[in-house]
Chains A and B, each alone.
Chain A
Amino acid sequence: MFKPMSAGFRSASPVLLFLLIGFAAPLLAVIWFSFMPPRSFSFGGAPTFENYRTIFESTTYISFLWSLGLAVTTVVLLALICYPVAYGMVRVFGKWAMLVTLLFTIPLFVSENIRLYGWVLFLIKNGVLLGTLKSWFGFELESMLFSVPAIILGMVYVYLPFMLFPMTLGISMVPNETRDAAFDLGASRWQVFKEVELPLSMPGIVIGFLLTFVLAIGAIAEAKVLGGQAVIPITQDIEIAFTYSQNWPLGAAIAVLLMLIVGVLVVLALRRFDLDSFLGRR
């Protein structure tokens, strides 16, 4: 244990203080607020489980399921899309990898909302895609805008870099000679992938999974902008509780439940894929 007044502790104290004020305090405030009487605005009320009961008796679980479903779908699609691209960036593209990286990074400099409205213009009836098809080829299709696929498209698009770059890092961590060695020991291309490349790039893959999952379950703009009112994700329920319905304790309770669910899933995932053992620290 460290001594309270050791140089290390004193050096770390500004950061500890910052974390306390900036991270722990708001979190505790939200948790505490979730136990306050409904529609109250102070920390002083008598603690109650009323808000949680309201959630379990209402249809809020549908929003939870939508958020989880959208997040899982997004993560799975991202994994399928990003692994080949990441593999190519590390092993195939060579000097072009830099250009590909730039192409994936530059959109990040533009605000997410603007990019999403760009997709609206692209997908909307008589917009860039359908309008072009109509005027060039003369056929008209239904717009996919304001549907679940449109939301997923938006989420996959927005969170792609957060899967791609950890994966690229993971794959680049696989030493070339272990690949050569497996091949030399008789493994087929597929066996080299299954036995060596995939497990050794797992840390990057798991980090990409976690990052995109946590981001995706907290997504709100995609459902609002591209989904119209097709789907209400849990984040929107929280927003509504805090703003439109002025029921802060209820919003806090939903937020706490969401944190719990995400926390449990992340812990389960980390236990299944132990990062330390991948990195050989055990």
Chain B
Amino acid sequence: MQGAEPILSLKAVRKMFGPQAAVDSIDLDIAEGEFFTIVGPSGSGKTTMLRMLAGMDTPTSGDILLNGKRINDVPANKRPTCMVFQSLALFPHRTVGQNIEFPLKIRGEDPERRKARALQLMDLLRLPQSYYAKNVLKCSGGERQRVALARALAYDPQILFFDEPLSAIDYKLRKTLEKELKDIHRETKKTFVYITHSLEEAMVMSDRIGVMRAGKLVQVGTPQEIYSTPNTRFVSEFVGDVNVIPVTLGSDGLLHSPTGATYKPPRIPPGFRDGHLVIRPEYLKFLASPGEADNAISGSLYNEYALGSRIQYQVRVGETVFVVEKLRQQPFTGQLDDTVTIGWDAQDAILVTD
């Protein structure tokens, strides 16, 4: 991903709505060919950011550079970029073929070449050729996704933007389409910039992920980095269930929780004084004796949940609930309300500052 000049570059981009900064001083480089996903809860400014990148909004301050050229004031129809909308925004009065050919028609290409290109794209997206003359409203949800993507690809953009196109689709189909999208990315070698509120979705597809919160980019990294070394509690809590313990670093080099317990710390970030200890559920283990792990806690087994390939257990320690996950093949064989000991090795936890 690194090396060459970034295809898209944001320099202190800010967008104000009244006194409110929807997007606040964002610096970001996106490399050519990258699948970059911006993740954030609703209201975090990710849609505003995408609209600025696509040319449907202009930044209040800062610069957006495409191939090194400032494009702040270039309108969307003059940018070599294209967006797949959340609603897909297909043209309901047109057939599948006419939808896909739209950008080519606008460009004034002759009908035969348009049709050839449309059929080629339909092949790439696994849409049957017989759909060419089908009314786009007669297509299923997944087919419409493909038509929308084919239409965007027909524009032959340098960058494709995606505004949560999969959010309204049921789980199973979404999982299929996520993988398909990643395959299309591989096939077309184009730069994809995707936004979603689901970090899980982002993890499946992306080369790199940027996490947004309240208009700011909190962390940028590979899915692996975001998962295993989140830099804030906010980021850590974004994927699945996590165990978060508020802690203060004591002079004894141990972490002290408000309940009086002490824990052996993982690698301590420089300057760390207090914050949270984050333990992913798969790193928590049931212990036969407290000595089997660096840190151990006793509690009672409250409930268990089957999550497909994994089983999640809830262990209550006083007021606090811990979640432990084990693979289905290696379930824990305790009874509900048993007193159990759970623990983790110091280096499997992460310390975050807020």
A residues 247-282 in Cβ contact with B at 8 Å: 277-278, 280, 282
Contacts of B135 in A (CB 8 A): 280, 282
Q: Please, how many angstroms separate the alpha-carbon atoms of A184 and B87 in the complex?
A: 14
Q: Please, how many angstroms separate the alpha-carbon atoms of A175 and B151 in the complex?
A: 18
Contacts of A185 in B (CB 8 A): 77, 82, 102-103, 106, 151-152, 155
Determine whether the beta carbon of A196 is less than 8 Å from that of B76: no
0/1 interface trace, chain B 82-125, chain A, CB 8 Å (1 if under): 11011101111100000000110111000000000000000000
A186 at the interface (CB under 8 A from B): yes
Q: How large is the interface on A (under 10, 10 to 19, 20 to 34, 35 or more residues)?
A: 20 to 34
B343 at the interface (CB under 8 A from A): no
B137 at the interface (CB under 8 A from A): yes
Contacts of A188 in B (CB 8 A): 77
Q: Please, how many angstroms separate the alpha-carbon atoms of A181 and B93 in the complex?
A: 14
With known contacts A185-B106, A200-B93, A180–B76 Cβ distance under 8 A? yes
Contacts of B45 in A (CB 8 A): none
Determine whether the beta carbon of B76 is less than 8 Å from that of A183: yes
Q: Please, how many angstroms separate the alpha-carbon atoms of A196 and B92 in the complex?
A: 9
B residues 143-164 in Cβ contact with A at 8 Å: 151-152, 155
Contacts of A182 in B (CB 8 A): 91, 102, 106
0/1 interface trace, chain B 247-266, chain A, CB 8 Å (1 if under): 00000000000000000000
Determine whether the beta carbon of A180 is less than 8 Å from that of B85: yes
The contact of A200 among B55, B76, B92, B152, by CB within 8 Å, is: B92
A residues 116-171 in Cβ contact with B at 8 Å: none
Interface size on B, residues (CB 8 A): 26
B residues 30-73 in Cβ contact with A at 8 Å: 54-56
How close is B97's CB to chain A, nearest CB, in angstroms? Answer: 15
Contacts of B107 in A (CB 8 A): 186
How close is A148's CB to chain B, nearest CB, in angstroms? Answer: 38
Determine whether the beta carbon of B92 is less than 8 Å from that of A187: no
Contacts of B90 in A (CB 8 A): 178, 181
With known contacts A177-B85, A280-B135, A280-B137, A186–B103 Cβ distance under 8 A? yes
Determine whether the beta carbon of B91 is less than 8 Å from that of A196: yes
A228 at the interface (CB under 8 A from B): no
Determine whether the beta carbon of A181 is less than 8 Å from that of B83: yes
Determine whether the beta carbon of A186 is less than 8 Å from that of B137: no
Determine whether the beta carbon of A181 is less than 8 Å from that of B85: yes
Q: Please, how many angstroms separate the alpha-carbon atoms of A37 and B106 in the complex?
A: 63
Q: Please, how many angstroms separate the alpha-carbon atoms of A185 and B151 in the complex?
A: 9
Residues of B at under 8 Å CB distance from A? 54-56, 75-77, 82-83, 85-87, 89-93, 102-103, 105-107, 135, 137, 151-152, 155
**Chain A to chain B contacts (Cβ below 8 Å), 7 pairs:** A175-B87, A183-B77, A184-B55, A186-B103, A186-B107, A187-B77, A278-B93
Residues of A at under 8 Å CB distance from B? 175, 177-178, 180-188, 191, 195-196, 199-200, 277-278, 280, 282
Known: A181-B91, A195-B106; 20 extra A-B contacts, CB below 8 A, are A175-B89, A177-B86, A180-B85, A182-B106, A183-B76, A184-B55, A184-B56, A184-B82, A185-B82, A185-B152, A186-B155, A187-B77, A188-B77, A191-B106, A195-B102, A199-B93, A277-B93, A278-B93, A280-B93, A282-B135
